[in-house]
Amino acid sequence: MSDIRHAAVITGASSGIGLAYARQLSQRGYDLILVARRKERLEQLAFTLEEHSRSNVTTIVADLANEADLRRVQNVFAERGDISVLVNNAGVGALGPTSKVDVSIVENLVKVNVLALTTLSLAALSAFKARGHGLLVNIASVIALGPSVTAAAYSGSKAYVLNFSRSLEQEYAESGITVQTILPGPVKSEFFAASGVSSPGFPEELFMTADTLVETAMRAVDMKENVTFPTLADSALWTEFESARKKFYKSVLVTGKPAARYASGK
């Protein structure tokens, strides 16, 4: 067995999808750098993982909406030479009609879902590029594909994650670096409760457990699938969607003149 060890950074690691990634990456032999706001949960998780695996676990208590905390996490990629995986899982919901959601909560969402994810992605890619390999996992959502009257900021942030990640995927396609974008549906986690939603409004059968989601996503990486819809039965539908998107994109770039329907009629 190789003595070379690799480490994974996981944000939002104290519960839900992040916790599932911590468990499963430790089973695959990774050392872990776990990032979350809740110190007690992180310390308990680190103790449990080190007790039941060979992983060395480092914890960083950080609120990624706080610039100083974000910079501390960002600096880890320059300080350590063993990081080969980043899972950008931390996220905020800010769910509800915009007339009822406090603007400070939306600002916090943008800082975590967009700014922190972007900052850490770029830091990780810089480190991965220097080593010639690495895996960047960004957690988006199926809501990235359509607007929502009760999740405007969340939907917008996940659409950003999708386009940002796919652009990086193309940019680093020949580099040995893998960029995976995961678009899950509802997941059994603390997400809705943390967003102040007592009843998510989805039938129970639509919910996937965090462990199943991560197992599926990691199999997708092994299959070299960069965009992962864990519940999509017919992958040809995504191919069709992408083809239609590209066709539409080309249709708006054929001329610089206004379309005929906008003619004044004079």
By annotation, the residues acting in catalysis are: 154
Cα 24 to Cα 110: distance, rounded to the nearest angstrom: 29
Sign of CA dihedral 37, 38, 41, 44: positive
Amino acid at 236: A
Contacts of 97 (CB under 8 A, 6+ apart): 149, 150
Amino acid at 260: A
CA separation, residue 78 to residues 75, 81, 238 (Å):
5, 7, 37
- The first and second tokens of residue 14, run together, are 């104290």
CB 87 within 8 A of CB 40: no
CA separation, residue 217 to residues 13, 59, 68, 137, 165 (Å):
16, 24, 31, 9, 15
* Look-up of token digits 């809705």: 192
Q: What is the widest separation between alpha-carbon atoms in the chain?
A: 79
Cα 97 to Cα 102: distance, rounded to the nearest angstrom: 10
List the beta strands (DSSP E) in 37-185: 57-61, 83-88, 134-139, 177-182
- The first and second tokens of residue 38, run together, are 């809740």
Cα 17 to Cα 209: distance, rounded to the nearest angstrom: 9
